[in-house]
């Protein structure tokens, strides 16, 4: 059976909201992909990181650039399959305490409030939570998590 390539593909990025940010951050990628495939690639902005799944199911979007946690949602809800994987060097989670803090081990964070970035963020929520679990802490009972996005460092500076 002969297959024909589509004339256009719609492309979304799960952690970028708005067409302006898509154009700013992914225009070079979009045009390069367009050249390689010989198919027009059109941006499809999503409202949030989980909005790509229903867009895939309804046929509104064809290709989605997603991080690991978003991929799990896309695979579970829309049966998405990866066509490419990107590995980032020097991409990891860190846990920071104030200079001079007596806390030297993750287990010492028991009973503390911990700032993280955003629910579902791989480096700013899932991976740090896994680090804390591996240190023997239960995220349901041993510490309080607050999601502060990019304001965690500012909050840490204010803590007495």
Give Cβ neighbours of residue 121 (< 8 Å, ≥ 6 apart).
67, 69
**Exposure of 98 by Cβ count < 10 A (0-12 exposed, 13-18 middle, 19+ buried)?**
exposed
Provide the 8-state DSSP code for 90.
T
Write out pLDDT tens, residues 32-52: 999 999 999 999 999 887 889
Percent of the chain whose predicted confidence (pLDDT) is above 70 = 99
Per-residue confidence at 136, pLDDT binned at 50, 70, 90? very high
What is the H or E stretch that residue 152 is in? Answer: helix 152-158
Write out pLDDT tens, residues 53-108: 999 999 999 999 998 878 888 988 899 999 888 877 887 788 989 888 999 999 99
- 80, 56 contact by CB (below 8 A): yes
Percent of the chain whose predicted confidence (pLDDT) is above 90 = 57
β-bridge mates for residue 114, sequence order: 145
Instruction: Sketch out the chain's domains with CATH numbers.
Output: 8-78 (3.40.190.10), 106-158 (no CATH)
β-bridge mates for residue 46, sequence order: 17
pTM of the model: 0.65
pLDDT, residue 71, reads 85
């Amino acid at each position: 059976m002969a297959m024909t390539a589509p004339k256009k593909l719609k492309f979304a990025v799960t952690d970028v909201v708005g067409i302006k940010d898509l154009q700013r951050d992914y225009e070079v990628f979009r045009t390069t992909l367009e050249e390689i495939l010989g198919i027009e690639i059109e941006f499809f902005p999503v409202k949030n990181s989980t909005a790509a799944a229903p867009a895939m199911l309804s046929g509104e979007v064809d290709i989605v650039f997603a991080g690991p946690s978003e991929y799990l949602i896309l695979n579970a809800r829309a049966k998405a399959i990866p066509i490419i994987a990107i590995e980032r060097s020097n991409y990891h989670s860190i846990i920071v305490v104030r200079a001079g803090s007596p806390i030297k081990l993750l287990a010492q964070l028991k009973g503390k409030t911990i700032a993280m970035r955003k629910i579902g963020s791989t480096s700013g929520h899932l991976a740090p939570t896994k680090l804390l679990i591996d240190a023997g802490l239960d995220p349901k009972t041993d510490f309080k998590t607050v999601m502060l996005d990019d304001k965690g460092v500012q909050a840490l500076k204010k803590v007495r």
